Structure 1
Amino acid sequence: MTIKETFPFNALVFTTMTTLPQLADHVGHVAKAMYQEAARLSVMPTGAIHWKYTGIDGNPATVFELEIWLPIQERDIIAEGFEWKHIPSFKCLSLIHEGDWERMPEAYQKAMDYVAAHQLTMTSECREIYQHMDFEVASHNVTEIQIGLQ
């Protein structure tokens, strides 16, 4: 685990309000649609898909904001079904989770333990960067988890 500041970037953005049980409704097809829109617009993707959670607390009934980002090179584009945003830098605790996404709560627990042990103050935002997605062999997934810090 490391504490770091991310770099700012531009992104195509999908935004919705959701709950933990509804997250599976957004896996795969939103990213695919974002890549298709980027291709249609001839814009250059510059990074992996990000999921940003704001207001998530681990309670399955809590409604929170989910933004899915596709980093792109271009600025101020008009996209069908998505918006363009400039994503600012972000101070966070970063850790890598390798393997099945079903085991990600274990990684989050390690992060929460680290935050408590080091008396860090979290923000209401966390992110997941899907560095490698394998929908056939879950053990091949590589996800960077970022917990927002003040």
Structure 2
Amino acid sequence: MQTKTIQPIHVLYFETRTSFQEISQYVRVEARKMYQDAIRNELEITGPVYWVYEGADGRPDTVFTLTIALPVTPPSHTIDSPYQLKQLETFQCISEELYGSWDGLVSTYGALFGEIMSQKLGMSGQSREIYLNMDFENPDRNITEVQVGILK
């Protein structure tokens, strides 16, 4: 577990209001379309896909803002895209990498929340999952960085 500051990241993104009950409709859908759109618009992809959760509390029916973001170099030309461009702002967080199936996300978040409570840190209300490696046929090969926003 580590506390760190993530510098601003320029992204192509999709944003929606959803809940954990409804979130599966976006898995393997929006990111794939975003990669295709970035290539079609001649954008340079500079990092892995981020899922940013704003206002999620872990309950299945709580509605929160989900941003699926693909880091790209800011374009020097106008793009024709159903997606938008923005900058993810500086992010103070505590993070841990999960190696393996996403079934382990619950315990990873639990460990991070426990560390936040033991250090008496305030939470920002935002968390991020960065999908460093996704292997849908062999989930034990997944590498996901989980970041929980903290107030400093």
TM-score of the aligned structures, taking structure 1 as reference length:
0.96
In 1, Cα distance between the equivalents of 2:52 and 2:75?
Answer: 20
Deviation at 1:97, TM superposition (A): 0.7
Question: Residues 50 and 130 of structure 1 are in contact (CA less than 8 Å); yes or no, is this contact kept in structure 2?
Answer: yes
Cα offset, 1:34, TM superposition:
0.5
C-alpha distance in structure 1 between counterparts of 2:139 and 2:24, whole Å: 15
Listed as ranges, the gaps of 5+ residues in structure 2 are none
Residue identity in the other structure for 1:83: Q
Q: Please give the alpha-carbon distance, in whole angstroms, between the structure 2 residues aligned to 1:8 and 1:71.
A: 10
**TM-score with structure 2 setting the length:** 0.95
Length, aligned pairs only: 150
Matched, 1:30 2:13: no
> Which residue of structure 2 lines up, in the alignment, with residue 72 of structure 1?
72
CA displacement at 1:86 relative to structure 2: 1.3
Unaligned runs of 5+ in 1: none
Q: Percent of pairs identical after alignment?
A: 35
Residues 38-57 of structure 1 correspond to what in structure 2 (within 5 A)? 38-57=38-57
Runs of 4+ in 1 over 2 A off after TM superposition: 75-79
Give the C-alpha shift of residue 128 in structure 1: 0.4
3-state SS, counterpart of residue 21 of structure 1: coil
Separation in 2 of the partners of 1:122 and 1:135? Answer: 31
Matched, 1:144 2:120: no
1:2 equivalent to 2:18? Answer no
Q: Which residue of 2 aligns with 1:117?
A: 118
